[in-house]
Every structure is written in structure tokens, then in C-alpha cells.
Amino acid sequence: MSLFTTELRRLAKRRFIRYMALAGLLVLLAVAVGTALSNQKVGPEQIAAAEAAAEQNYQESLKWHEEHVRECERVKTSGTAQEKEDFPADCAEFMPPSRDDFRAEWFMPPTFDFRNKFGEFIFAFAAILALIAFVVGASFVGAEWTTGGMMNLLLWRPQRLKVLLTKAGALLTGLAGFTVLAAVPWTAGYWGIATYRGITEGMTSGVWQSFALAGLRGVVLVLMAGLIGFAVASLGRHTAMALGAALGVMVVGQFGLGMVLAMAEVRFFQAWLLPTYAIAWMERKVTLTDYNSCDYSASAGCLPKTMDIVWQDAGVLFAVAVVLMLGAAMWAMRRRDIAG
């Protein structure tokens, strides 16, 4: 049996990895069920109820306006000087509400629009599985170091880098297969939600292609997260090393750094935060806005300055991170004492 096949079987049989995969699927199921329960199909009954709610709110606002005008007239006739200061000189200045300001669509129940909303759930799918992939990648190699399995494996296959890269290849293969297999029922489930509790109108080949490309970027995000977890755990020779590093990056390097940069009023401080690039990667572009600046335009006046971060920027950043981390893990694997 080849080394790659052995590592793939080891990945599939590890109990912790199975539990993590099951946990990821349960979270995805909970998200889908929550979406289904919080949306409903819109029909004549819902439209009529929304129209009635809009009319009721209009009548209540009209009644409140009339009461306010009567109170104003009473104060102007017999009120004290202090009370009169609280109202305008002419009570007719109070404009009555317009029926056009109470639109029925504001009172419609939420309904799932597949074309406009499914992209958000592709991002949620990728984010959840990327977190699972990071932990799985860290555990896959970290447990080998902790239990001594790595040393035993190197007695059978003494090529250090080949062993490490084969493990990484098996990890990527397993993650890719799991992600694609999970994506099929995820998409079908949300199509069912849109069919029975929403709308599926406006779906064209271009929209499906856009969703497919977003899904492909999601798969890449999952693979990068798993590979980074694998590399960090290999460097520290322990799963906890990767988890601790991830916690430190998120708490200190993201929340702490974000607070410091915001208090220092650094322009476009979100450009220094990793979540911004994850969003840009999945949604193709993120536009940051500096509301404390003015970009003057003769036609539009003073507009705040903006900065665009596109998915190519995020891709370069993530690629560099993966190459550096995996390169460091390979260097450590080759240079350090395996038994140490």
C-alpha cells in the first residue's frame, strides 16, 4: 500500500477528525434549519396582511398627528408661556403623514430569495468548514508528533520531506472531497428552502456560474485553512500549538489590533485585519470608507475617500501565508531532531 493511501486512510479513521466533521455538518444543518424557519412563502394572504398592517400604522400615525395638533391648539389658547414655547407659532406647520410613506413591502414577512441571498450562505459555508479544516489539519499532524507516530513512520519511510508533503497531500484530498460532498446537499437544501419558503426567480446561467466560482473560492479557502493549521502544528509538534497560535492571532492580532488602529484613527484600518481579506476573497471585493475624509467632486460635492480590496489581493496574501508557513514546517522537519 502506498504512503499516500495509508495517510488518507489514517485521516479518515481518526476519531477526533470524524467528530469534527460531524460537528461541522451539524452546524451547517442548524444554519439551514434556522434559515428555513425564519422565512416563508409570500402569497395573497401575506400580501393582504402586509397591506392591512401598513394601513393600521398609517391610521395610528394620523390619529397621533391629530391629537398633537389638538394639543397644540389647546396650548395656544389657554396654555402657559412655557408650554407655548414647546410648539410652533402656527399649529398647521405639523405636516400630516402621507399614506405613501407606509408601504406594504415594509411589513412583508421575510422570504428567501435564492438569487440575492444564497451568496451569503456560500460564505457562511466556507467560513464554518474553514474553521473545521484548520482544527483537522492541526490535529492530523499534531497527534502524530504527540503519540510518537511520526517517529515510527519515519523508521518505515525515512524521507522526511516526502512524508510531510504526503501527509499534507492526503489532508488536502480529504478536505476537498469532504467540502465538495457537503456543498451538494447544502446547495440543494437552500434551493428547497427557496422553492417552498421563498422564491427562485431570476436564476440564469450567469448567476449559477457566479455561485460556482464563489463555491470554488470557498473550497480554496477551506484548503488554505487546513494547510495553515497543518503547518503550524508541524512547527510546534503539537495540536495545541496551532490552536494557541490561532487564538492569539484572532484575539491579539485582530480584535486588539483593530481597537488600537480605530482609536488611533488610522485610515482604512480594516485593511490590516484578516477578516477583511476573507470577505474580499469570497465576495470578490470589499470597499472601505473613510468618513473623516473628503474627496471633492464638482458634481457630487464632498465624498468620503474609499479603498477597494479585491479577491486578487486576498489571494496573494493567503498564498504568501501558506507558502511561508509550509516552507517553515518543511525547513523544521528537515533540520530538527525528530526524536527531540
Q: CB of 325 within 8 A of CB of 232?
A: yes
pTM above 0.85, yes or no: no
pLDDT at 49 over 60: yes
pLDDT at 276 over 70: yes
What per-residue confidence (pLDDT) applies to 340?
46
Q: Calculate what percentage of the chain has a pLDDT beyond 70.
A: 85
pLDDT at 293 over 80: no
What per-residue confidence (pLDDT) applies to 210?
94
What per-residue confidence (pLDDT) applies to 196?
92
Distance of CA 156 to the CA centre of its chain: 43
pLDDT bin (cut points 50, 70, 90) of residue 110 is confident
What per-residue confidence (pLDDT) applies to 290?
83
* Between residues 30 and 338, the one the model is more confident about: 30
**Weakest mean pLDDT among 23-27, 95-99, 211-215:** 95-99
pLDDT at 239 over 70: no
Q: Which three cell numbers stand for residue 303?
A: 465624498
Q: At what angle do helices 274-283 and 205-236 cross, to 10 degrees?
A: 150
Give the integer Cα–Cα distance in Å for 178 and 225: 14
pLDDT at 339 over 60: no
- Nearest by Cα to 211 from 193, 194, 187, 246: 187
The residue type of 225 is: A
pLDDT at 266 over 90: no
pLDDT at 4 over 80: yes
What per-residue confidence (pLDDT) applies to 299?
66
Pairing outcome for strands 198-199 and 285-297: unpaired
pLDDT bin (cut points 50, 70, 90) of residue 123 is very high
Mean pLDDT estimate for the chain: 84
What per-residue confidence (pLDDT) applies to 187?
96
What per-residue confidence (pLDDT) applies to 275?
87
pLDDT at 60 over 70: yes
